[in-house]
Chain A
Amino acid sequence: MSATGARVRAGGRPSGAVRRWDAGRIARVTFMTLVALVFLYPMVGFFVVALRSDASVADGTGGFLGIGGISPAGIAHSWHEIISYGGSDTPHVYLTWIGNTIFVAVTGAVLALIAALPSGYALARLRFPGKRYVLIVTLLAMVMPNTVLVIPLFLEVNAINAVGTLWPVAVIMGFFPFGVYLSYIHFRTAMPFELVEAARIDGLGEIRIFFQIALPISKQAVALVAFFSFVANWTNFFLPLALLTSSFSEQTISVGIQSLISSSPLFNPTTAAGLNVKLYMPELALATAISTVPMLIVFIVAQRFLIRGQTLGAVKG
């Protein structure tokens, strides 16, 4: 961070003003901490609810945020309810949804990589007519929220009678213009043009230059594209909702959690009355919390690349 650099240099100056606990600094630290607490408070409470028993939540016991109400028996019961959801027709449908989501998210991320790395390289380091238009279309597709295309995509997939199957979702998720832009920036900054020129003089063809020179130095881009694409795919709701709702066991977890919500006696007593499985807040929270675990794993794996990628100015909602 540049601010860190500034402080190091400021340390050399005799004033030392940067380190002093003046009113401004106290106000800043206090305010930022307060905002952080506002962010953390509901999240901690939410993850605690996931670990409590139905009775403890219903009675409102457990003290501050219900932390005292955490019980292994409650967790075991909640997990049993989640896993029993779906009945005998679609046993363990929760796990099926997780598996489906892993399939579409991983396939989508691999396709995004296969598409993004070579095209990002070509856009960054090769000269060809029409490049400007490919770039403009990519940037436009990147800054437009991807949900605006969902209904058109549904109409397209419906036209080929593939609604309710997973593979169209995975293929569509492979279209990840942000990944192309990330790779484009990566090759522009990390790969000197001279390298391409030198490889040409050595007699390498354009395709081989990409595979032998560019690809080996694209670890950073691979990590970023894979991470952002995986997370976007994992949390995508509207696309699987439109394309997969018609088939109960072919849904992804985000659409599945919607089914859990609509089967909960908390919100839909009439539907829930006919079900053996009772999904109260602890069950819903646990099902949600478990569904975020894969994202946590990829986050931890990719985190050292993240701050850089997140600041490429290409975040989309």
Chain B
Amino acid sequence: MNSPDTRKSDMTSETAAPATAVRAVPATAVRRRGRNAVRGKEVLGAWTLMVPYLVLLLVAGIVPIAYALWISFQQSPTLLEPNKTGFGGLQAYVQVVSDFRFARSFGDIFAVLLVWLPIMILAIVGLALLVHASPGRFGRIMRFIYYIPGALGGVANLMLWVYLLNPSQSPISGFLSGMGFDTIKQVIATRGDLPVILAAMLLLQGLGQWVVTVNGGLNSLPDDVLEAASLDGANAWQLAWRIKLPMIRQWIGYAALLNLAYGFQLFLEPYLLNQVASGSLPAEYSPTQLGYWFAFVGNNFPAAAAMSVIIVIITLAIGLVVVFRSGLFSVEEN
């Protein structure tokens, strides 16, 4: 290893995390390289060991993106010529972007993000700090309870919400009927409700695992700093606000960006809520749903591919910021 063995990304220690967990540990001296033959064997061995992964990366990552890119530049079929093929330039992109649902679907997502993301980040940070301020069994139990809904996963979580939002048997039916709702269709399809419902669903589902993650970041803060602050007379509030919060800034940024990327690809929730509301929601609420529509209803693969390429580019941009700017990952050669 020629460069310092950065252990920044390993913010994992369950036990009292020593300061070294976040600080770079200098490796021992530069190791002397053996003969070229040894080096060659190492390179060959490395690539051999990576073959299964690289095959899967190609098959399930790179080839589909390249193929979608290629298809997105093909001509779209029309009613008169359903089998029309050939190079179509930016035709599919123009068609997608000028579709009346395109801008609206991004607007819908922004509405959800606007309601959800600030609450989500506040809740993640607040609960993570509270869990971190609760040593021992109580904190662990709370952290576990917050985690359960996320562990249930997609469709199970949706069913939980169907149960919650159906006034006929909901445990909050008093609240729902107080709002004037008699059927689940009314609850979901009333204008303006959907962003709030989606925000609540995403919050309940995602909060727990992010509390655990950010709590992990808190656990890796050097003990001596926290101890010094409390010896200086900082109370729990000051400790959280002045010391811990600034130190987990990069974790908060990481959570915000990944949740932003997650919001852009929203599919399952609006798709299934539409079924529950017997089709009274737009079937192309989110951009991913619109891409799905192009592929499965419109049978317009170039447009579906173009839509996917657009969503991939957006999430890729967010991903690049996370990887290179969040400071959580070290991608330097080591």
Contact = CB atoms under 8 A, between A and B. Distances in A.
Interface of A: 1-7, 9-10, 24, 28-29, 31-33, 35-36, 39-43, 45-46, 49, 57-58, 60, 65-66, 111, 114-116, 118-119, 121-123, 126-129, 131-132, 134-141, 143-145, 147-156, 159, 171-172, 174-175, 177, 180, 185, 188-189, 193, 197, 200, 205-207, 209-210, 231, 234-238, 242, 253-254, 257-258, 261-262, 266-268, 281, 284-285, 288-289, 291-292, 295, 299, 307-313, 315-317
Nearest to A280: B169
Contacts of B315: 144-145, 148
Given A132-B333, A140-B316, A237-B155, A172 B272 contact: no
B328 A313 contact: yes
A105 to B, nearest CB: 11
Given A147-B267, A174-B56, A242-B292, A152 B151 contact: no
9 contacts: A39-B149, A135-B331, A145-B264, A151-B291, A153-B64, A156-B67, A171-B59, A267-B184, A313-B9
B65 A3 contact: no
A237 B166 CA distance: 23
Residue among B67, B138, B169 with the highest chain A CB neighbour number at 10 A: B169
A273 B187 CA distance: 23
B227 A6 contact: yes
A116 B53 contact: yes
A150 B65 CA distance: 10
Contacts of B213: 310-311, 313, 315
Given A128-B42, A313-B251, A257 B159 contact: yes
Contacts of A242: 292, 295-296
Given A35-B127, A145-B262, A295-B151, A1 B49 contact: no
Given A3-B135, A111-B56, A42 B163 contact: yes
B60 interface: yes
B70 to A, nearest CB: 9
Nearest to A113: B52
Residue among A138, A143, A257, A315 with the highest chain B CB neighbour number at 10 A: A143
A20 to B, nearest CB: 11
Contact of B305 (A35, A121, A155, A237): A155
Given A6-B227, A172-B60, A313-B328, A188 B10 contact: yes
Interface residues of B, number: 135
A43 B219 contact: no
A134 B219 CA distance: 30
A113 B318 CA distance: 28
A222 B56 CA distance: 18
Given A210-B45, A266-B166, A315-B213, 6 more contacts: A1-B135, A119-B49, A149-B308, A262-B275, A311-B216, A316-B258
Contacts of A307: 14, 212, 216
A31 B146 CA distance: 13
A144 to B, nearest CB: 5
Which 9 A/B pairs are nearest by Cβ-Cβ distance?
A: A311-B216, A206-B45, A235-B153, A5-B16, A175-B60, A152-B68, A317-B262, A152-B64, A119-B53
B319 A143 contact: yes
B-side interface mostly:
helix
Given A206-B42, A317-B259, A295 B52 contact: no
A2 B17 contact: yes
B63 to A, nearest CB: 6
Given A153-B60, A238-B268, A28 B130 contact: yes
Contacts of A119: 49-50, 52-54
B17 A152 contact: no
Given A65-B171, A119-B49, A288-B159, A36 B142 contact: yes
A73 B301 CA distance: 50
Contact of B216 (A35, A45, A313): A313
Interface in B21-50: 27, 31, 38-39, 41-50
B169 A39 contact: no
A185 B9 contact: yes
A132 B166 contact: no
Given A29-B138, A254-B155, A115 B53 contact: yes
B135 A7 contact: yes
Interface stretch (B79-87, B104-112, B191-199, B202-210): B202-210
A143 B216 contact: no
Given A2-B221, A143-B323, A210-B49, A148 B166 contact: no
B114 interface: no
Given A206-B41, A311-B212, A143 B261 contact: yes
Given A132-B331, A140-B320, A188-B10, A6 B64 contact: no
Residue among A115, A209, A234, A316 with the highest chain B CB neighbour number at 10 A: A115
A64 B272 CA distance: 29
Contacts of B227: 6, 9
Residue among A114, A118, A128, A141 with the highest chain B CB neighbour number at 10 A: A128
B265 A147 contact: yes
A237 B236 CA distance: 43
A180 B53 contact: yes
A205 B139 contact: no
A42 to B, nearest CB: 5
Contact of A39 (B146, B322, B333): B146
